[in-house]
Structure 1
Amino acid sequence: MYRVIALDLDGTILNSDKKVSEISKKVLQHLTSKTFKNANGQDVMVLLASGRAPYLVQPVEEEIEIDCNLIGYNGGLCLSTKSEGRSTLFSRSIEYPHMQQIFKYVDENNHFLNVYGESHVYGTSKAELRAKPDIYAKMTGATYKFFDHPYSELSESVAPTKSLIIFEDEQECDSMLEQLKPQFPEVSLVKSNCMTKEHKQFYVEFLQKGVNKGSAIRDFCKAKNISIDQVIAFGDAENDIEMLTEAGHGICLANGADQTKQAANYVSEFTNDQDGVARELIKVFNLPAELFQ
Structure 2
Amino acid sequence: MYKMIVCDMDETLLDNQAKISKKNEQAIKAFTAQGGHFVLNTGRSFLSVQDNLKQLGLIDKPNQYVIAYNGGAIVENRANQILTVNQMPFETVKQIFDYAVKRNVTVHIYAVQGLYMWRPSDQELHYIKQRVADFDILTSSNIDGLKQQPLVKILYQADDPAFRKELSQAVAALLPDELTITFSSNRYVEFNPAGIDKGTATLQLAKQLRVKPSEIMAIGDNSNDLAMLNAAGLGVSVQNGTAAVKQAAGYVTQATNNESGVAEALEKFALS
Q: TM-score, normalised by structure 2?
A: 0.91
Q: Kindly tell me: are residues 232 and 147 of structure 1, through their superposed partners in 2, closer, same or farther at Cα, counting changes over 3 Å?
A: closer
* 1:62 matched to 2:58: no
Match 2:198 to one of 213, 227, 236: 213
Q: Kindly tell me: are residues 30 and 155 of structure 1, through their superposed partners in 2, closer, same or farther at Cα, counting changes over 3 Å?
A: closer
Structure 1 equivalent of residue 135 of structure 2: 144
Q: Any conservation in 2 of the 1:107–1:152 contact (CA below 8 Å)?
A: no
Structure 1 equivalent of residue 158 of structure 2: 167
Structure 1 equivalent of residue 217 of structure 2: 232
Q: Any conservation in 2 of the 1:71–1:78 contact (CA below 8 Å)?
A: yes
Structure 1 equivalent of residue 11 of structure 2: 11
Structure 1 equivalent of residue 182 of structure 2: 190
- Cα deviation, 1:11-41, whole Å, max 9, x if unaligned, reads 11111111111111111111211xx3xxxxx
Name the Cα RMSD after superposition: 1.9
Q: Secondary structure at the match of 1:250?
A: strand
Structure 2 equivalent of residue 90 of structure 1: 84
Aligned-partner residue type, residue 63 of structure 1:
Q
In 2, Cα distance between the equivalents of 1:152 and 1:283?
Answer: 48
* 1:156 matched to 2:147: yes
Q: Secondary structure at the match of 1:135?
A: helix
Aligned-partner residue type, residue 257 of structure 1:
T
Aligned-partner residue type, residue 241 of structure 2:
G
Q: Kindly tell me: are residues 72 and 22 of structure 1, through their superposed partners in 2, closer, same or farther at Cα, counting changes over 3 Å?
A: same
Q: Kindly tell me: are residues 3 and 131 of structure 1, through their superposed partners in 2, closer, same or farther at Cα, counting changes over 3 Å?
A: same
In 2, Cα distance between the equivalents of 1:248 and 1:269?
Answer: 20
Q: Any conservation in 2 of the 1:57–1:72 contact (CA below 8 Å)?
A: no
Q: How many residues align?
A: 267
Structure 1 equivalent of residue 69 of structure 2: 73
In 2, Cα distance between the equivalents of 1:31 and 1:90?
Answer: 25
- Cα deviation, 1:210-263, whole Å, max 9, x if unaligned, reads 110010101111111111111011111110001001101010011000111111
Q: Any conservation in 2 of the 1:166–1:202 contact (CA below 8 Å)?
A: yes
Q: Secondary structure at the match of 1:226?
A: coil
Aligned-partner residue type, residue 262 of structure 2:
V
Structure 1 gap segments, 5+ residues each: 37-42, 194-200, 288-293
Match 2:45 to one of 40, 43, 53: 53
Aligned-partner residue type, residue 57 of structure 1:
V
Q: Any conservation in 2 of the 1:89–1:220 contact (CA below 8 Å)?
A: no
Q: How many angstroms does 1:132 deviate by?
A: 5.3
Q: Any conservation in 2 of the 1:189–1:206 contact (CA below 8 Å)?
A: yes
Aligned-partner residue type, residue 150 of structure 1:
S
- Cα deviation, 1:169-193, whole Å, max 9, x if unaligned, reads 2232123223322222212221111
Q: Any conservation in 2 of the 1:191–1:238 contact (CA below 8 Å)?
A: yes
Structure 1 equivalent of residue 93 of structure 2: 99
Q: Secondary structure at the match of 1:59?
A: helix
Q: How many angstroms does 1:202 deviate by?
A: 0.9
Aligned-partner residue type, residue 80 of structure 1:
E
Identity of aligned residues (%): 27
Q: Any conservation in 2 of the 1:136–1:142 contact (CA below 8 Å)?
A: no
- Cα deviation, 1:55-83, whole Å, max 9, x if unaligned, reads 0122211122234310000011001131x
In 2, Cα distance between the equivalents of 1:169 and 1:139?
Answer: 22
In 1, Cα distance between the equivalents of 2:126 and 2:183?
Answer: 18
Match 2:253 to one of 262, 268, 276: 268
Match 1:203 to one of 188, 192, 202: 188
Q: Any conservation in 2 of the 1:50–1:71 contact (CA below 8 Å)?
A: yes
In 2, Cα distance between the equivalents of 1:70 and 1:285?
Answer: 19
Q: How many angstroms does 1:133 deviate by?
A: 4.4
In 2, Cα distance between the equivalents of 1:150 and 1:132?
Answer: 21
In 1, Cα distance between the equivalents of 2:22 and 2:143?
Answer: 45
Q: Any conservation in 2 of the 1:245–1:265 contact (CA below 8 Å)?
A: no
Q: Any conservation in 1 of the 2:112–2:152 contact (CA below 8 Å)?
A: no
